[in-house]
């Protein structure tokens, strides 16, 4: 009985201490990054390499340079399982972490991005949804705290259609062609549909969408339908086990792999390898370089893996998703450096990091200095434009590795920015947001 009382007492004091914000003491010269990751569940095959790449880069920066301009970067991972409510919980858990709270947050889930936009804006913490999330959040005057660089799904969809146009011999030849989209039935998968429909109206191709319910391990009916409809091209917005299942099922109905194009989240080795040689010829859009032959990746191997501190296995370094995790970290750190130039080399608040993101101008020369030439695309952001000018390339799987088969495809940004603005203004209206005047923002600098 006494023991039980003691246990209850201990549990209570623990809970109260936790509730009132007691915790270990932290050094003050640190910059904290919350890491929303998923290393378990149906999306883990894709979540793990990304999380490893990000964490390894931060470890490398801390080991090689002692942090960013002398500020050590700390991070804490929180498992979301690609689940929106757990994502919100993780964000709330980590956002007030000492010393200055979360500098920025990378949700790595379009659903979680949506859930965080309002919260993070109120908390003054920038949301960096690199190559995912809400496309219209590229319109900075409305979405002050959201960043979508270097490309959104709308831009990705536009680039893929341009590529298909070049394959069929000109955009005018798209008329009457059948283009299908296989998508994860969630916020992520539905994001490109408005663009694909708008482009269908412009170029006259026939668009059909095929929704696949999460987690996407049962797609045979979908692929039988696609087999019957026999579209000229199939696009895919898939994630996790859905990708490999789709490629296997596409192969089993005999759909030609070189007419099957995935978005960048559907183009990693775990997606194609389970299908074996049947996946040969499969294509994926990509907004960055891939591989391990870059100085920055070599530094990660040298400073992290050779010391035995790597988060994954050495052989997983250099995969598309691993590299994307590294690239995300490179962009985040570049924003931090930009902000440090204005606010000084000290731990910065989310509001200050937001300034750094909005004024991010990562040039080729800087990228070369960072060791990411060919891996990272240059980015120039502004108050109006939170997407920047990232481009898209198409890569192809040859059964062993990915090859870039096109040069950089430039999405039609004039058309896209009109769409972003229109959609963002609708959001602003629903949520009583007054868009800021960017001319004034620029003048005050």
Partner 1 sequence: MLYREVGQFRTSYAADQAIFPIRQDRIGMLALLLVAYIAVPLVANEYWLSTIFVPFFVFSLAALGLNILTGYAGQLSLGTGGFMAVGAFTAYKLATAFPGLNIVLVFVAAGIVTALVGLLFGIPSLRIKGFYLAVATLAAQFFLIWLFVKVAWFQNYSASGVITAPPRAVFGHFFVTGPEARPAYKYWFTLTFAAVLALAAKNMVRGATGRKWMAIRDMDIAAEIIGIRPLSTKLLAFAVSSFYIGIAGALWAFIYTASVEALAFDIDRSFQILFMIIIGGLGSILGSFLGAAFIILLPIFLNNLPNQLGLHVGVALVTNLQDIIYGALIVFFLIAEPNGLAALWRIGKEKLRLWPFPH
- Residues near partner 1, by CB under 8 A: 14, 16, 18-21, 23-24, 37, 39-40, 44, 48, 76-79, 81, 84-85, 88-89, 92-93, 96, 110-111, 114-115, 117-119, 121-122, 134-136, 185-188, 190-191, 193-194, 211, 214, 423, 427, 430-432
Smallest gap from residue 339 Cβ to partner 1 (A): 22
Residue 177 to residue 208: CA distance in whole angstroms: 11
Nearer CB in complex with partner 1: 53/289? 53
At 177, list the tokens: 């062609």
Smallest gap from residue 18 Cβ to partner 1 (A): 6
Residues 6 or more apart from 425 whose CB is under 8 A from it?
139, 142, 435
Nearer CB in complex with partner 1: 116/329? 116
Sign of the four-CA dihedral 401, 405, 408, 414: negative
**Residue 184, beta-bridge partner list:** 212
Residue 152 to residue 389: CA distance in whole angstroms: 10
Nearer CB in complex with partner 1: 309/342? 309
Smallest gap from residue 333 Cβ to partner 1 (A): 22
**SS3 (DSSP) at 360:** coil
Considering only CA atoms, which of 267, 86, 263 is closest in space to residue 163?
A: 263
At 123, list the tokens: 């908390």
Smallest gap from residue 102 Cβ to partner 1 (A): 12
Residue 131 to residue 70: CA distance in whole angstroms: 29
Nearer CB in complex with partner 1: 161/360? 161
Q: How many CA atoms lie within 13 A of 224 on its CB side?
A: 4
Structure-token match 């080795």, residue found: 269
Would strands 260-262 and 233-237 be described as parallel, antiparallel, or unpaired? Answer: parallel
**Residue 362, beta-bridge partner list:** 379
Dihedral of CA atoms 302, 304, 307, 311 in degrees, nearest 10, equals -140
Smallest gap from residue 186 Cβ to partner 1 (A): 6
Smallest gap from residue 312 Cβ to partner 1 (A): 11
Residue 176 to residue 157: CA distance in whole angstroms: 18
Smallest gap from residue 256 Cβ to partner 1 (A): 30
Nearer CB in complex with partner 1: 92/306? 92
Nearer CB in complex with partner 1: 77/271? 77
Residue 404 to residue 398: CA distance in whole angstroms: 11
Smallest gap from residue 190 Cβ to partner 1 (A): 5
SS3 string of 374-387?
CCCCCEECCCCECC
Smallest gap from residue 423 Cβ to partner 1 (A): 7
Residue 154 to residue 134: CA distance in whole angstroms: 9
Nearer CB in complex with partner 1: 350/372? 350
Considering only CA atoms, which of 360, 390, 355, 358 is closest in space to residue 376?
A: 390
Nearer CB in complex with partner 1: 84/269? 84
Nearer CB in complex with partner 1: 220/431? 431
Smallest gap from residue 122 Cβ to partner 1 (A): 4
Nearer CB in complex with partner 1: 3/122? 122
Residue 372 to residue 365: CA distance in whole angstroms: 10
Asked if 203 and 161 count as a contact pair (C-beta separation under 8 A), the reply is: yes
Smallest gap from residue 57 Cβ to partner 1 (A): 18
Residues 6 or more apart from 260 whose CB is under 8 A from it?
233, 234, 236, 247, 250, 282, 283
- Where do runs of H (alpha helix) occur along 344-404? 350-358, 364-370
Nearer CB in complex with partner 1: 103/110? 110
């Amino acid at each position: 009985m006494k023991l039980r009382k003691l246990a209850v007492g201990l549990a209570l004091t623990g809970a109260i201490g936790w509730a009132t914000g007691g915790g270990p003491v932290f050094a003050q010269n640190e910059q904290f990054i919350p890491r929303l990751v998923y290393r378990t569940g149906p999306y883990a095959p894709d979540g793990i390499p990304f999380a490893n790449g990000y964490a390894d880069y931060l470890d490398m920066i801390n080991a090689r340079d002692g942090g960013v301009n002398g500020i050590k970067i700390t991070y804490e991972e929180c498992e979301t399982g690609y689940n929106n409510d757990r994502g919100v919980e993780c964000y709330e858990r980590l956002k007030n972490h000492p010393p200055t709270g979360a500098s920025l947050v990378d949700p790595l889930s379009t659903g979680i991005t949506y859930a965080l936009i309002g919260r993070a804006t109120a908390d003054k913490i920038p949301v960096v949804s690199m190559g995912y999330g809400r496309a219209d959040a590229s319109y900075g005057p409305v979405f002050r705290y959201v960043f979508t660089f270097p490309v959104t799904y709308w831009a990705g969809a536009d680039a893929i259609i341009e590529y298909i146009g070049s394959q069929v011999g000109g955009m005018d030849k798209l008329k009457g062609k059948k283009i299908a989209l296989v998508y994860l039935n969630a916020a992520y998968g539905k994001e490109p549909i408005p663009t694909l429909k708008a482009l269908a109206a412009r170029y006259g191709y026939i668009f059909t969408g095929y929704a696949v319910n999460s987690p996407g391990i049962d797609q045979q009916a979908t692929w039988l339908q696609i087999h019957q409809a026999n579209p000229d091209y199939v696009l895919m917005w898939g994630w996790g086990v859905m990708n490999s299942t789709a490629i296997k099922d596409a192969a089993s109905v005999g759909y030609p792999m070189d007419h099957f194009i995935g978005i960048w989240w559907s183009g990693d080795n775990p997606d194609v390898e389970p299908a074996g040689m049947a996946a040969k010829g499969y294509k994926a859009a990509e907004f960055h370089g891939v591989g391990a032959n870059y100085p920055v990746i070599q530094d990660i191997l040298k400073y992290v893996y050779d010391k035995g501190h790597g988060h994954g296995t050495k052989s997983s370094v250099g995969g598309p998703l691993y590299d994307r995790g590294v690239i995300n970290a490179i962009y985040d750190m570049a924003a931090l450096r930009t902000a440090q130039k204005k606010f000084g080399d000290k731990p910065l608040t989310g509001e200050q990091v937001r300034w750094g993101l909005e004024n991010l101008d990562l040039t080729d020369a800087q990228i070369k200095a960072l060791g990411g030439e060919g891996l990272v695309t240059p980015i120039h952001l502004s108050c109006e434009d939170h997407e920047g000018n990232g481009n898209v390339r198409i890569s192809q799987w040859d059964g062993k590795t990915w090859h870039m088969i096109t040069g950089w495809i430039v999405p039609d940004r004039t058309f896209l920015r009109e769409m972003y603005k229109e959609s963002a203004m609708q959001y602003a209206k629903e949520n009583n947001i007054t868009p800021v005047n960017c001319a004034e923002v620029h003048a005050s600098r």
